[in-house]
Structure 1
Amino acid sequence: MSVAEHEKVSGVEIELDHVTKRYSGTREPAVDDFSMVVPAGKIVVFVGPSGCGKTTTMRMINRLIEPTSGRITIGGEDALKFDVDKLRRGIGYAIQQAGLFPHFTVAQNIGVVPGLLGWDKKKVTDRVEEMMDLVGLDPRDFRDRFPRQLSGGQQQRVGVARALAADPPVLLMDEPFGAVDPITRGNLQDELLRLQTELKKTIVFVTHDFDEAVKLGDKIAVLGNRSSILQYDTPEAILANPADDTVAGFVGAGASLKQLTLLRVRDVELKQEALTAGIDESPAEVRQKLAGQRRQFVLVLDAKRRPARWVHGRELVSATSLENAGRPLRDVVSLQSTLQDALEAMLAEGGAVPVTGSRGEYAGTIHLETVIATIQQLRDEHADDHEADESEGAPA
C-alpha cells in the first residue's frame, strides 16, 4: 500500500461509501449502508451507545472486520484491493488497555511494525527512542521494562507510540483511554491533542463518552442503531443545535457548561509570575532567590524544562538537592487542555496550575480567576444571544 511506503506522510482522506456489514444468521445488518468522508489530518470521533456498530464500522477501515458490501478508500486507494497484512501495517491501531505483548519490552513493542516492514536495526532503534520521547517516556528509564512494570497510563502511551511508530497516515483508536482513572485519562487526551498538532494524522476515534468526543473531535459522528448517522458535525454545532432528541440526550444537561470543553488553555492569558529553578541548582541559591523576591514557593523544572515539583522556602533549609525537595506536582495541564481540565487540576493542586507547551516544557501558570472570568464572559454572551433570539421571535 503506497500510503505506508512514504516515511513522512501526514493524514489522508478516508471515504466509506455505502458500507454494510451482515453476519450470517442475523436478520438485521450490524452496519447498514454507512457513508462518510473523514477529512485528511483531522480527528473524527464516533460516539454512540454500546452495540450500535461504531467499533465494527471503524474496524472495517483496516479490515479487522471485512465489509459485506460497499467501498472504502484511504487516500483515494481502494482498501479492499490490498493485501490485508500490508494494509494493517500502514494503519496505526490503538485499543483499550493498550494490547501490548506482555513478553516484549517497551522498545520491542514499539518496534514491532517497523520490524515487520523490514526497517534496519539502527533505524528501528532510533525510531523507538523518538517515539518514546514524543509520548513523554524517557527511553533510559522505560526502554527495557515489560508492560507489567508500567502503570495503566504508561501502557497507553506505549500503545500510542507503537501505533505511530511506522509513521502511518491513519490512526484508529478504539476507546483507548477507557480503562484508566479520570486524571490519567485527561492527561492522555491532552497528549493525543499535542501529538496531533505536530503530526496531523487522520484519526478515527471510538468512544461512548460524549465529553471525550467534544474535547477531542474536529468532527463528531453521533451514531444510532446499525451505525446510522444521527448527526455529523463539529462539536460546537452539535452542542448548539442537536439534530434530534436522541442527540440531545447525548449532549445531556448543562450544554452551556460543556462549552468549557471547547475552550483551551491556549485561548486564555497565562501568568508568568511563578519563580522557577532548574533541578540542578543548589538549594542555597534558590533560597536566596526566594528571599530576594519575597516569594514563598519555587517551581522546579527538570533538565528539559518540564515542571516537576513545588518547593517551599523552608523546605530548602535542610535540602541537599532540588530533586527530592518539596512535593511532586499532582497535576499539570497543557496548552491543549480544556478549561474544564484546568478547573479540575486546580482542585487537585489547591491553587494555580503549571501549564506545559508542545514538548512538555513550562509555559506559564493558569489561575482560577482567569477561568471564572472566562465562564462569566460565556454566560454574558449566552444571555445576549438569548435576548436576541427572543427579540427576533417577538411579534412586530
Structure 2
Amino acid sequence: MTTQIDSQTDPTGVRIELDHVSKVYPGAQQPAVDDVSLDIPAGEIVVFVGPSGCGKTTTMRMINRLSEPTSGRILIGDEDALSIKPTELRRSIGYAIQQAGLFPHMTIRQNVGLVPGLLNWKRARVDDRVDELLDLVGLEPAQYADRYPRQLSGGQQQRVGVARALAADPPVLLMDEPFGAVDPITRSTLQDELLRLQGELRKTIVFVTHDFGEAVKLGDRIAVLGQQSKVLQYDTPQSILASPADDTVAGFVGSGASLRQLGLLRVKDVALESRPSVHRGDSVEQVRATIAGSDCDWAVVLDDRERPVSWVRENRLRHAASLADAVERLDVVSTQSTLEDALEAILAEQHASAVVTGPAGRYEGVVTLDTLIDTITRLRTEADGAGDGPS
C-alpha cells in the first residue's frame, strides 16, 4: 500500500492542532462540538467524515474562525489562531466549498485573483499567478480566464474554486464537501486532480465529506466523527478498514470492506498494458491497419496532445466514411485514480480494460480486468493470512 503523498517532496503545509476545542451556540442546551482534540500533520490530507449534523463542518470552520470556538485552542504551525485577526487568518488559509462559491459578476481571472488582490499583490504578479493556477487545475488560461462562472460546467467551476483557494499559496486548505454537487464521473476526476495537485504541493488539507468512499480515496488519515464531533476513530484508511473501532465506525465502513480495499491502491501501483492508439486526424485505412497489426479489435483515439478523446472498434470502421463517424465516447481514469474507480470504468466501457492517463492527461496505457481480479485475490489472501495469526 502507498501513502497519498510523495515522500520526495517537502510539505508546504503546516501542522494543525485542535486542543480541547468546543463550540456552544447561544441558547443551545448542548454544544455543537464538544471537547475535540486532533493533531493534523503538515502536508497531509485529513478527512472529517460523519453523519449530517454531527458537527464536522463546524469543527473545520473553527480552524479559520468562520465559526468562533467557545473554548479550547487551535494552533496553526506555531501560532495560536485566536491571536490572529480573523480577516488576516482567512486570507492565509485556502477555503473551497460545494458548488465553488464563485462570484457570478466576476470573471474567472477576477475570482481567482481576489485574495492576492486583497493582499496588495502587484497586478502583473496576480495575473501570472492566475495563469499558473488555471493551468495547474487543467483550464487553459487563454480560453477560460475571461469567462464568467455561468459559462463553465459544474466541474470546471469546482476547478476554479480550488484554484482560488490556492491563489495566495496558503499552507492550509479547508475543503467543505467541494465535489458533492457534481455527477459521479466528474467527481472522480476532480478527486484525482486534487491528489495530483497534492502530490506536487503537499499542503495541509482538511476535507469534510459524508461519503466514506471519498474519505478512503483522498485521506492520508480519516477522523470518523460522531455527534458533537466526538472522535470515534482517527487513523489511516487501511487501519480503519481493517479494524473499525466500534459498531458505529463499522457501519461507516459498510459490508463491502474487502472490495473497498481497492480504494486504497492507485492505478499507478499496478502494471499497465499497452493497447493500439491512433490520432483523430488519421484516415479510416490508417486506423484499420493499426488495429490489424495488433492483437486487439479496438484502438484508443488521441488528440494532437496525446490525450485520449474516444475509442473505436474495428467492426464500426467497415462502413464509416471517416474516423469521426465510427468513434465512441470514452471514460478514462488517471494514474491517481483508485483501482475501485478503474473497476467502475471497466464495467461501464464493457471491454475488459480502462484507458489510463498520466501527466497533462496523456495516454499511458490500460489497466485490465485480469489485473484487478489478481489484485483482489491477493488482498483477500493477505487478509486471510493476517487473520490466521496467533491470537
TM over 0.5: yes
Report what 1:353 is aligned to: 354
Which aligned pairs between 1:1-396 and structure 2 lie closer than 5 A?
10-272=12-274, 274-279=275-280, 285-293=286-294, 296-312=297-313, 314=317, 318-319=321-322, 324=324, 326-327=326-327, 329-351=329-351, 352-386=353-387, 388-389=388-389, 392-393=390-391
Aligned equivalents of 1:90 and 1:316: distance in 2? 60
AA at the equivalent of 2:321: S
Cα distance change on mapping 1:111 and 1:346 into 2, 3 Å: same
Cα deviation code 1:20-76 (max 9, x no counterpart): 111111121111121111100000000111111110010011111111122111111
Cα distance change on mapping 1:11 and 1:304 into 2, 3 Å: farther
Shift of 1:337: 0.9
Aligned equivalents of 1:338 and 1:68: distance in 2? 40
Aligned equivalents of 1:353 and 1:40: distance in 2? 34
AA at the equivalent of 1:54: K
- What secondary structure is seen at the aligned counterpart in 1 of 2:222? strand
Cα distance change on mapping 1:134 and 1:280 into 2, 3 Å: farther
Cα deviation code 1:223-275 (max 9, x no counterpart): 11211111110111111111111111111212212111111111111002x22
- Number of residue-to-residue matches in the alignment: 379
Shift of 1:315: 7.2
Contact 1:20–1:31 (CA under 8 A) maintained in structure 2 = yes
Aligned equivalents of 1:317 and 1:325: distance in 2? 6
Unaligned 5+ runs, structure 2: 1-9
- What secondary structure is seen at the aligned counterpart in 2 of 1:359? helix
Aligned equivalents of 2:283 and 2:205: distance in 1? 45
Contact 1:177–1:188 (CA under 8 A) maintained in structure 2 = yes
Shift of 1:293: 4.7
Unaligned 5+ runs, structure 1: 1-7
The answer to which of 76-85 and 86-95 deviates more is 76-85
AA at the equivalent of 1:163: A
Contact 1:57–1:227 (CA under 8 A) maintained in structure 2 = yes
Shift of 1:145: 2.2
Cα distance change on mapping 1:212 and 1:293 into 2, 3 Å: closer
Shift of 1:103: 1.3
Aligned equivalents of 2:302 and 2:319: distance in 1? 15
Report the aligned-residue RMSD.
2.1
Shift of 1:206: 0.5
Contact 2:11–2:202 (CA under 8 A) maintained in structure 1 = no
Aligned equivalents of 1:332 and 1:290: distance in 2? 20
Cα distance change on mapping 1:250 and 1:172 into 2, 3 Å: same
Aligned equivalents of 1:259 and 1:369: distance in 2? 17
Aligned equivalents of 1:102 and 1:316: distance in 2? 47
AA at the equivalent of 1:334: S
Aligned equivalents of 1:229 and 1:318: distance in 2? 62
Identity %: 64
Contact 2:309–2:330 (CA under 8 A) maintained in structure 1 = no
TM-score (norm 2): 0.91
Aligned equivalents of 2:228 and 2:260: distance in 1? 28
Aligned equivalents of 1:114 and 1:281: distance in 2? 46
AA at the equivalent of 1:121: R
Aligned equivalents of 1:294 and 1:268: distance in 2? 22
Contact 1:153–1:188 (CA under 8 A) maintained in structure 2 = yes
Aligned equivalents of 1:9 and 1:115: distance in 2? 25
Shift of 1:302: 2.6
Shift of 1:202: 0.4
- What secondary structure is seen at the aligned counterpart in 1 of 2:361? coil
Contact 1:309–1:326 (CA under 8 A) maintained in structure 2 = no
Cα distance change on mapping 1:312 and 1:328 into 2, 3 Å: closer
AA at the equivalent of 1:153: G
Aligned equivalents of 1:269 and 1:90: distance in 2? 41
Cα distance change on mapping 1:126 and 1:186 into 2, 3 Å: same
Aligned equivalents of 2:203 and 2:282: distance in 1? 40
Shift of 1:120: 2.0
Cα distance change on mapping 1:268 and 1:316 into 2, 3 Å: farther
- What secondary structure is seen at the aligned counterpart in 2 of 1:88? helix
Aligned equivalents of 2:185 and 2:363: distance in 1? 19
